[in-house]
Chain A
Amino acid sequence: MHELSITEHLLEHCISEAKSRNASRIRVIRLCIGQLRGIVPDCIQIYLDMLSEGTVAEGAQIEAEFLPVKVQCRDCGQEGEITPHRLCCPHCGSLNLKLLSGKEFYIKSLEVDIDGNKSTASDHGLERGCE
């Protein structure tokens, strides 16, 4: 449930971003989440639905892209991807690893309608099945 306060700040940032670009509506919020983080996109969606009522983000959909945990093996020197459930080098099985990535959490992009360019934007929205 830590997603509640995260969503409050996420929404605040998205609204100010939309405002600075003269966007009239936010349709999609694209997030990137490293697999080591305990962030549940469905929870963010539920809180967003509650918090965004009456704002330009009302009805916006969360699209989350999970980023892999990347490591470099300190024994064989190779890089590779692992999952939190199998914490060893995918090449040689060593447990002696250096973590390269997997803790990311950022807003990648927004899909918005821009004032004065609504037809194009809403067409785009329809294409994406966001209506």
Chain B
Amino acid sequence: MEIKVLHQIMDWNEDVSEEVKATLASHKICMINVMGSPGAGKTSMITSLIGKLKDRFRIGVIEGDIAGQVDADRIAELGIPTVQLNTDGACHIEAMSIQHILPCLPLEDLDLIFVENIGNLVCPAEFRIGESLRITLLSIPEGDDKVEKYPLMFTDTDCLVLNKYDMLPYFDFDEERVCANYQTVNPEAPLFRISSRTGNGLDELAGFIAQKAGSAVS
């Protein structure tokens, strides 16, 4: 016989995500979930943003990687509290993983936490992790068809960052196509054009984050 169920499948993750959010709110911390493909420039962008924001905010980083801690070492060199979250093969970070690892950071001494998610445009989009801000990174060399191919990632983000924007003249990247598709699936969210290499556009992005961080903790 058929029994009706109507159960939201992701509730198990959403519930923990809300708990993480409450923990962070009690410490007045804004957590930022940084998502994008492998090689999109997530670590470089976080490193550059730390430089722009560290005078105004006390910053910590959770470095998600399938294995190893190359990126965590890069961030830790900046003198920022950093913890490595290895997912041992899993393609995304879940709220539960963040809940387990948060006590490893000095929460009393932080205002802002960057979480570098696993490099992947599919799986991380499905899982909230207790963040106040979601940033999706797309780099010019990846191509201009990504919004159509991975719509959830671009629908469920608070801003889109086009990274490696200085590479635009060297690639057949139809910027209008990306902007139009992004505006369709996510009309309220802003778009930033940056180059972590040259530093262009980072001030605007840092300003947006500072404003969001301020409202997330007030």
Contacts and interface: CB of A to CB of B under 8 A. Distances in A.
B12 to A, nearest CB: 5
B127 interface: yes
Which residue among B3, B125, B148, B150 has the maximum number of chain A CB atoms within 10 Å of its CB? B3
Contacts, number: 103
A17 B152 contact: no
Nearest to B4: A109
Contacts of B42: none
Interface residues of B, number: 35
Nearest to B91: A1
Contacts of A37: 126, 152
B118 to A, nearest CB: 10
Interface in B21-35: none
B8 A106 contact: yes
Interface in B157-182: 180-181
A91 interface: no
B5 interface: yes
Interface in A72-131: 74, 84-85, 87-88, 95-99, 103, 105-114, 117, 120-121, 124
Contacts of B94: 5
A109 B183 CA distance: 35
B151 A36 contact: yes
A97 B184 contact: yes
B56 interface: no
Nearest to A33: B9
A60 interface: no
B10 interface: yes
Nearest to A37: B152
B7 A106 contact: yes
A87 B184 contact: yes
Given A97-B187, A124-B1, A107 B9 contact: yes
B8 A114 contact: no
B155 interface: yes
Contact of A95 (B6, B91, B152, B183): B183
10 contacts: A6-B9, A13-B7, A84-B149, A87-B151, A95-B180, A96-B187, A107-B7, A109-B4, A110-B3, A113-B1
Interface of B: 1-10, 12-13, 90-92, 94, 122-123, 125-127, 147-152, 155-156, 180-181, 183-185, 187
